Chains A and B, each alone.
Chain A
Amino acid sequence: MIETIDIKELLPQKGAFVMLDRLTEVDEHKAVSRLKVRSDNLFVENNLFEAAGLVENIAQTAAAKIGYTAKYINKSEITIGFIGEVKNLVIKHLPCVGDELKTTVAFVGEALSTLLVNAIVEIGEQTVASCKMKVFMTDIQSTN
């Protein structure tokens, strides 16, 4: 069921700035997303998906889980969030056009309006990037 949800319904980011294709798993403490890197992706340069795209992909995987919880569980509005902090980011190599990324985000803590996640981006069995991230949530509603 989750895979059929239009990802745009869950995210405040729109159009070409959406950096994931779909969620494949969501539970209380975890979300998994997929992204096929296409040549027209905003963050592709010289056939490579750049670091900024990887970090945005991680942030939006967390945002999609938050959006899913808001829309399908709490029946509330999608709100805007920001990256507050990234720690221990390691980028092993940049994905190429055609690669399919699997991004797993584990929710490990929550304080006030801040969510703490551990994230890992993989292509097949290979880890491409990992980090810890703090996502700061606002009560600003998403508009179209």
Chain B
Amino acid sequence: MKLKDDFFVIQSRSTEQNRLEYGIALNAAHSIYNLHFPNNPITPGVCLLAIVGELLSFEFGVEYTLREAAKIRYFKPVNPLENNRLKIIIDLTPTNSDCLLLVSIADEKDEVAKFTLRFGRAK
């Protein structure tokens, strides 16, 4: 399942050298929020991870897949009923065929997650 344009939409995008900055809005009405968890909608941490992968693939027009994560940290649960807008800053270091990413995800007040990831081209 693709999350883009279903679970979330892109609201803004800017780039500067090796930095991508996306503003996204989560779809609080999405069925995932009835399952995770009933009466307690929390954005699954793995969906934030999947969103980053989809943004990378969207940015470059080729499919990327996660190969490694040195560190993935979640600081605060994201309840879309309280706040559905997130800012995602991706600092990229391209290597031969892979991409190293430092990712920071924040809501209107706080940083909610931080990732160090390595993506490769999907075969």
Contact = CB atoms under 8 A, between A and B. Distances in A.
Interface in A37-60: 42-45, 50-53, 55-56, 59
Q: Is the interface of A mostly helix, strand, loop or mixed?
A: mixed
Given A42-B1, A140-B40, A142-B37, A88 B70 contact: yes
Interface string B43-77: 01111011001000000000001111111111001
A11 to B, nearest CB: 10
Q: Is the interface of B mostly helix, strand, loop or mixed?
A: mixed
B109 interface: no
A6 to B, nearest CB: 16
A59 B71 CA distance: 15
A93 to B, nearest CB: 9
B35 A51 contact: no
B36 interface: yes
Interface size class of B (residues with CB under 8 A): 20 to 34
Contacts of A15: 34-35
A94 B65 contact: yes
Contacts of A89: 66, 68-69, 72
A104 to B, nearest CB: 19
B32 interface: yes
Interface of A: 12-17, 42-45, 50-53, 55-56, 59, 80, 82-91, 94, 131, 140, 142-144
